A = this chain, B = another copy of it.
Amino acid sequence: MKPKLSDIARNLSVSSATVSLALSGKGRVSRDMVERVEAEARRIGYAPNQMGKALRTGRSTIIGLVLPDVGNPLFPRMARSIVQAAEDQGYGVLIADSHSGAQTQDRAVQRLVDFGSDGILVIPRKGTRIGSSDIPTAVIDAPTSPLNIVSADHHQGGALAVRHLREQGHQKILCLGGSSASLVQRTRVEGMQSAADGAEVTVHWMNESTPDIPALVRQGVTAIATTSDLMAVQVLTELGAAGLRVPQDVSLVGFDDLDVGQMIRPKLSTVGTSETEIGRRAIAGLIAMINGGERPKDDVVPMHLVQRETAIEIKPGGDEQ
């Protein structure tokens, strides 16, 4: 079947210990021997059996990833960067879905532990906290969240969105949050408010009440900032159906830089995160913990503004109807 360590040993008439030592570069092995072992390993296409290795070392080089429910549309990019980062460090990523319910989330963690994961990375569902387990666990959420290891700077991102609108002269800004139960979204909204700089910024939570957006625009709102691109698309189409134009009648900025933002006309201005960076740092931190390091300090990665077509300078004197 698949070539094993002892095949190399037999072919070279040495002990398997020597081969192992040679390949790992750990023990005292002659330079010559190392080369011969490596050559033979390549020749027969040797790849170490992870199970044997894991059993002996107690390390599976597998990281468990617990995903929030599918609803989160920026999960794919997140997952991708995490897998990529893990791969670069030689780790595999085992995934579990925590569908709905916080209790299932803990079960998912448990399953991953049972499979021998060396560490667990959790992107929690909004409003849940994860019970700490006995193996290294890291969370990607927000700085105030327990076990958090890295997060996007949602506060700064929110500020970025509103500051952009302020710079364009907007004085009456509507700020639309999806769910006030989400820590991330609350933080984004707080960031938005923090950049008000004298402008009138009113907040609406979609899970609490559904504002009549076209009406608000007719009452003088000149710009809308949402906490998600999906909501921005909803707003855009709703305004379109009501005969209002973006960005001529009202400016709009989204959040998350989803693909859909580039598809719609006009293209959506939005605030983006570097998922790659977050994934990389989360994995780096987690692996550090696995290797006996201390839990790294919270790491916050900044967001950036993506200027496209939905937010423009307010037309002079057009702010009062």
Q: What string of 1s and 0s marks CB contacts (under 8 Å) between A220-264 and chain B?
A: 000000000011011011101100010000000000000110011
Q: Is the CB of A97 within 8 A of B80?
A: yes
List 10 A–B pairs whose Cβ atoms lie within 8 Å, in order of A's numbering.
A50-B114, A51-B54, A51-B116, A70-B80, A75-B76, A93-B94, A230-B260, A237-B237, A237-B265, A241-B265
A84 touches B (CB below 8 Å): yes
Which secondary structure characterizes the binding site on chain A?
Answer: helix
Q: A51-B51, A265-B241 are in contact. Are A115 and B92 (CB under 8 A)?
A: yes
Counting chain A residues whose Cβ lies within 8 A of the other chain, the interface size class is 35 or more
Q: A241's contact among B67, B238, B266, by CB below 8 Å, is which? A: B266
Q: Is the CB of B115 within 8 A of A62?
A: yes
CB nearest neighbor in B for A65: B95
Q: What string of 1s and 0s marks CB contacts (under 8 Å) between A62-84 and chain B?
A: 10000100110101110110011
How many copies make up the complex? 2
Q: Which residues of B contact A73 (CB under 8 A)?
A: 76, 259
A62, B263: Cα distance in complex, Å = 38
Q: Is the CB of A233 within 8 A of B259?
A: no
Interface residues, chain A, with chain B CB atoms under 8 Å away: 47-52, 54-55, 60, 62, 67, 70-71, 73, 75-77, 79-80, 83-84, 87, 92-97, 99, 111-112, 114-116, 230-231, 233-234, 236-238, 240-241, 245, 259-260, 263-266
